Amino acid sequence: MQAAILVGLAMAVLWFLEKLGGTPMVIRPIVVSPVIGALLGDLQTGVMVGATLELVFMGAIQIGAAVPPDVLVGAGLGTAFAIQSGQGADIALALALPIAILAQSLKVIVFIIRSWFMDLAMKLAEAGDIKKLYALNIGGLLLQCFMYFVVGFVALLFGSPAVEAFVNNIPQVILNGLSVAGGLLPAVGFALLLLPMMEKRNAIYFVFGFILISYLNLPIMAVTIMGVVLAFVICYEKGTSGNGTAAAAAVSSEEEEDLFDE
């Protein structure tokens, strides 16, 4: 009971901080799993599971209306079940993805419920009632926090014995297969991360980084710093180009006005 409450509260609080704090990435497995591990008295397993799951879920990022597998629930419950069963990261890998996909459906349901209040939010915005609009926004956030608490609490309270019995009855051959799959899943995570990058405009930078590491043997930190500098230069050049265009348009407009004034 105590473990279920702690895990549920941890997931709810992490989600609240994530949305209220400007997305500081505290719902990523690399953060969630160590927190759950510390609460359950096994920080070492939490850190190991978090690092492994972060590689798997590295490309699972919500963009626009797309809802990816819920990494918070997957990492939180996967870590909790791994610690309670004593099987470590292999079991966490086997359980995290199915749990995350199930939680994805629950999150969509919560999003649908929140959409019912959009008309009210529009009316409050048109009326300029900032206090009620803020309260409505916080209410929607607390609804999602409640969902995370219920999912974590119920799953750990009623699901833990079933999961432990299931894990204890898994043949060693299957466990070995899960271990091998655990080594492959990080590659899948990197592949998902590369998908949005492999466009015509971005592919050249990927090839450039590959050459720097493979042929010039530069360390990761050096390549990262070069990438940051290159990104800054590109953004600066685009900004300068945009300002130049705007300035030229302004000058042209002034010349036209002077012409018509004459």
Domain ranges across the chain? 2-196, 198-262
Low-confidence residues in the chain, pLDDT < 70:
59-67, 160-168, 170, 175, 178-190, 192-193, 196-197, 241-262
pLDDT of 210: 87
Q: What pTM, to 2 d.p., does this model score?
A: 0.64
Residue 261: predicted pLDDT: 47
Q: Are 12 and 3 in contact (CB under 8 A)?
A: no
Residue 147 is predicted with a pLDDT of: 92
Structure confidence at residue 205 (pLDDT): 85
Instruction: Specify the pLDDT at position 259.
Output: 41
- What is the C-alpha to C-alpha distance for residues 167 and 162, in angstroms, rounded to an integer? 9
Q: Dihedral sign, CA of 158, 160, 161, 162?
A: positive
Q: What is the pLDDT of residue 72?
A: 92
Q: In angstroms, what CA-CA distances link 118 with 136, 144, 184?
A: 10, 16, 43
Q: Give the integer Cα–Cα distance in Å for 152 and 101.
A: 14
**Residue 251: its pLDDT value, please?**
47
pLDDT score for 236: 86
